[in-house]
Amino acid sequence: MNALGAYVGRLSWLYLRLGLWKDWPAVLDRLRSNIQHPSWYKKIAYHRAFYHLSPGGDREKARQELAKAGPITKKEDDLELLQLYVDLEFDDLPFAARIEILDRILELDDDRENLLQYRGAKPCRASRDMWAPWPSAGPEIPTLGSLAMPRSSGSSARCRTISVRCRDRGGRSKDGRPQQ
């Protein structure tokens, strides 16, 4: 299924470069009916969700398409699907489930850049959850969704910002309560 999924990825790139992007969902619908296998349906759901994340797309429609892949758990073997799941659904998961998904991505991925990113996401996520209840933590702390998809720059700077903020405690005592 991974080889066929890679072929569909290359095909999507061609549709985009040839200016046929608006026709891509119909192509995916035809491809979905070609192979009767749950893994194939998940690959097609991934590509349909990714289509909705293109410029001018709709994140909510992407989430709906990803939901068609069925439940995504720590036992999922499709790395791309897990990465997209992190980007779209991560903030709605309990902390323990988030860490399990990140651990699964780290287990499946051997790309050094991604390993650094997802290892860094774990403490960033913990820091965000720890400081989220206080209004002063505010918008400077990014959601993990902004760290989810592989990016070549910026992730480590976000984590450094969060760790410095946690060490500083922003006028809070050691137990995290505002100082009187």
CATH no., domain 2-122: 1.25.40
> Which segments within the chain are labelled E, that is strand?
none
Rounded to whole angstroms, the Cα distance separating 43 from 51 reads 12
DSSP 35: -
> When comparing pLDDT for 111 and 85, which is higher?
85
Closest CA to 100 of 136, 73, 66: 73
> Cβ atoms within 10 A of the Cβ of 146, count?
14
Rounded to whole angstroms, the Cα distance separating 171 from 169 reads 6
User: Domain coordinates of the chain in residue numbers?
Assistant: 2-122
Q: How far is CA 50 from CA 46, 54, 102, 120, 132, in A?
A: 6, 7, 20, 24, 29
∠ Cα 19 61 25 (to 5°): 35
Whether the predicted pLDDT of 126 surpasses 80: no
The pLDDT tens digits for 3-62 are 898 999 999 999 999 999 999 999 999 999 999 999 999 999 999 999 999 888 899 999
Mean pLDDT of 53-80: 92
The mean of the pLDDT values for the chain is 76
